Amino acid sequence: MSKIGKTVYKVVFLSQNSVYEIYAKSIAQGNLLGFVEVSGLLFDTQTSVVVDPGEEKLKTEFTGVEKTHIPLQAIIRIDEVEKEGV
């Protein structure tokens, strides 16, 4: 599927009654029991006229975050994809 070192994960999870979809370079079972560790968050860096307000909200919320821990029960799905975005 993806070449070694180019793996991208799409993580879909529920938080505060909203469904979030984030892309990351790495996921692992974290040191915190019952949490998935997600690191290397990726955001669309293309400059375009069309702005996705959902992605802008995610960028704002995760600015400066190196690693996030998501509870297992909040995770809906984790996919290994070739690249981030639609």
Q: How far apart are CA 56 and CA 66, in angstroms?
A: 18
> Distance from CA of residue 61 to its chain's centroid?
12
What is the tens place of the pLDDT at every residue in 12-63? 999 888 898 999 999 999 889 999 999 998 876 555 555 556 667 777 777 7
Residue 76 has pLDDT above 90, yes or no: yes
* Pairwise pLDDT comparison (83 vs 35), residue with the higher score: 35
Element (H, E) at 67: strand 67-71
Amino acid at 5: G
